Amino acid sequence: MIRPGARAVFLDRDGVLNQALISDGKPGAPRTVDEFVIPPDRAACLEELKRRGFALIVVTNQPDVARGRQSIAVIEEMHRRLQAALPVDDVLVCFHDEADNCQCRKPRPGLLIEAQRKYDLDLSRSFLIGDRWKDVDAGNAAGCRTVFIDYNYNERGPSTEPSVRVSSLRGAVEWISSREMNKEDLLPHSISDFKVKLFADGADKAAMLELYRNPWIKGFTTNPTLMRAAGIRDYEAFALDILSSISDRPISFEVFADDPDEMYQQALEIAGWGENVYVKIPITNTKGESTLGVARELSRGGVKLNITALLALDQVRDTANALDGGAPACVSVFAGRIADTGRDPVPVMKAAAELVHQHPGMELIWASPRELFNVIQADSIDCDIITATPDVLKKLSLLGKDLLEYSRETVQMYYDDARKSGFTLTGKARSQVAIGPVRGVK
C-alpha cells in the first residue's frame, strides 16, 4: 500500500540488489535464475528504508530481451524471487535497447515518471540508488536526489553530479537515514503533503467565503465567542446566510443552551439547517454536568455532532463510547488549551486518536492550535482534522521556507521599522560607560 504523495527510493537492480556479473570490469545482468543471487545484507537495508516510510520501486534496464539474448519469462521469474526476498513494492522494467529510442530506458527518467503517475509519488523528496551513470542521470532528470554506489567499474561516470557517492548499498541507506535524522526531508513543503484535513475556524462571513475558495480548506467551525467578536447579533440569520454559500463542506454550529432539554431542542433545530451541518455540543454544561446523555440520543437519531471543549482523555473515551454506532461525529480536543497549562498536547492527542479511531465514522479534531507547527504535529499523529484560525492559516505560506532567508527578512523588518520611526542616536550619552578599543581608535 503506497499512500498518495509518498516518497520513494528508486533502486537499480543489477549490482544494487543482486550481484552483477562482472566482465572486463563492467557489470552485466545475470543470464539465468541460478545466477540471480541476492546477497544476505540486502533485506535489512531495504527494511530500514521501508521503516522510514519510503515506497521501494525497482527500476531496471534489461536490454538483453531486445537483443534476443534473454526471455521475459526468465526475468519475470527473477523478479518473483526478488519480491519474495525483499520488501519492494514494484519492479518496473525497460526491455528495450538503445536503438528503440524509448522513454523508459535509463538515462531517461521514463520508469520513474511512470511510477510517479501510478502511485502519485513525490519525486522531489524521493531518492534513487544506482551503480551506473545511467541510473544517476535518470534520477537527476526526474528531480530526485541520487546516490551513486561507485564500484569503480571500467566505464564512464555520471554526466550529472550525484547527491552523494558511496561504496555500498549499506552506505546509501545510511546516507539517506542521516538526512532523515536532520528532519529536513521530513518537512512538509506544501499543503498537499498533509493527511490531516484543515478546517477554518471563524465567524467573519467575508473571511469564510474567501477561505471557501481554497480547495484545501475542507470544512468550517464556528463558536459563540467568535461570533460575538465578529459582532453577530442574529445567530440563525448568520448561519443560514453562510449555509446559502457553503453547502458542500462540513460546518459546525454550536448550541448555546445550558439546560439539557433545551440543548436537545436547539440541536434538532440547528441540524435542520442543512445536510452539511454538524451540531456542536459542549462536553459539559456550565455546571460541569455531562451532556453525553443528550449527545447519545441525538447521535442515535441521526444528528451529526461535534462534541467540543474536551481537554481530558477520560472525556474522549466517554464521548467515543457514547456516540458509538450513531451518526458521523467529531470529537474536538482543545490541544492548545492543554498546552496553555504547561502540558505537552502531543501524547494526549495521540492517545485520543487511538481511542476515537476504534469507532467507525468518528473523527478527532485538534482544536485551538496556537502555531503552524501544530498542523505538522496533528498530521504526524494521524489526527483527522485541525481547526485553524486565520492567523495560523496565513503562516502556511512559510512551510519549508529557507531559514537563512527568513532570518534576513526578519532583520529587514527591524531595519524598515526603525527607519519608519525615524530613530536616531544623538551621542549625548556616549561617555557614560567606559568602552574598550573600537574601530579606528588607536
Q: Which stretch binds Mg ion (CB under 5 A): 5-13, 40-48, 401-409, 420-428?
A: 5-13
Contact with Mg ion (CB under 5 A): which of 9, 11, 14, 46? Answer: 14
CB of 324 to Mg ion, least distance (A): 54
Q: Which stretch binds Mg ion (CB under 5 A): 15-23, 165-173, 257-265, 389-397?
A: 15-23
CB of 155 to Mg ion, least distance (A): 11
- Of 111 and 309, nearer to Mg ion (C-beta) is 111
- Of 129 and 232, nearer to Mg ion (C-beta) is 129
Active-site annotation holds for 344? no
- Of 21 and 226, nearer to Mg ion (C-beta) is 21
- Site size toward Mg ion (CB under 5 A) is 4
Asked if residues 280 and 255 have their Cβ atoms less than 8 Å apart, the reply is yes
Contact with Mg ion (CB under 5 A): which of 15, 158, 202, 250? Answer: 15
Integer Rg of the chain from CA: 30
- Of 19 and 389, nearer to Mg ion (C-beta) is 19
CB of 70 to Mg ion, least distance (A): 15
Q: Which stretch binds Mg ion (CB under 5 A): 12-20, 213-221, 307-315, 398-406?
A: 12-20
Q: What nine digits make up the cell of 246?
A: 457553503
Element (H, E) at 28: strand 26-28
CB of 123 to Mg ion, least distance (A): 20
Asked if residues 200 and 220 have their Cβ atoms less than 8 Å apart, the reply is yes
CB of 30 to Mg ion, least distance (A): 11
90: which DSSP letter?
A: E
Asked if residues 240 and 265 have their Cβ atoms less than 8 Å apart, the reply is no
| Binding residues for Mg ion restricted to 79-138, rule: CB under 5 A | 131
Closest C-alpha to 249, from 392, 385, 399, 390: 385
- Of 63 and 260, nearer to Mg ion (C-beta) is 63
Q: Which stretch binds Mg ion (CB under 5 A): 7-15, 244-252, 333-341, 360-368?
A: 7-15
CA distance 347 to 178: 26
* Gap between the terminal Cα atoms of the chain: 72
Active-site annotation holds for 248? no
Q: What nine digits make up the cell of 297?
A: 440520543
Q: What is the dihedral of CA 170, 146, 402, 213, to 10 degrees?
A: -110
CB of 56 to Mg ion, least distance (A): 16
- Of 133 and 253, nearer to Mg ion (C-beta) is 133
| Binding residues for Mg ion restricted to 294-323, rule: CB under 5 A | none
CA distance 212 to 181: 37
CA distance 227 to 234: 10
CB of 134 to Mg ion, least distance (A): 8
Three-state SS sequence of 167-222: CCHHHHHHHHHHHHHCCHHHCCCCHHHCCCEEEEECCCHHHHHHHHCCCCEEEEEC
CA distance 295 to 220: 21
User: Is the bond preceding 4 in cis, omega lying within 30 degrees of 0?
Assistant: no
- Of 15 and 110, nearer to Mg ion (C-beta) is 15
- Of 12 and 137, nearer to Mg ion (C-beta) is 12
- 12 forms part of the interface with Mg ion (CB under 5 A): yes
Nearest residue to Mg ion, scored by beta-carbon proximity: 15
Asked if residues 355 and 313 have their Cβ atoms less than 8 Å apart, the reply is yes
Question: Which x/- pattern, by CB under 5 A, does the window 127-166 give for Mg ion?
Answer: ----x-----------------------------------
Q: Which stretch binds Mg ion (CB under 5 A): 8-16, 67-75, 212-220, 340-348?
A: 8-16
Which residue of the set 14, 131, 137, 384 is catalytic?
Answer: 14
79: which DSSP letter?
A: H
CB of 64 to Mg ion, least distance (A): 13
For 243-345, where are the E strands, in sequence order? 251-254, 277-282, 305-310, 329-334
For Mg ion, the binding residues (CB under 5 A) are 12, 14-15, 131
Active site members: 12, 14
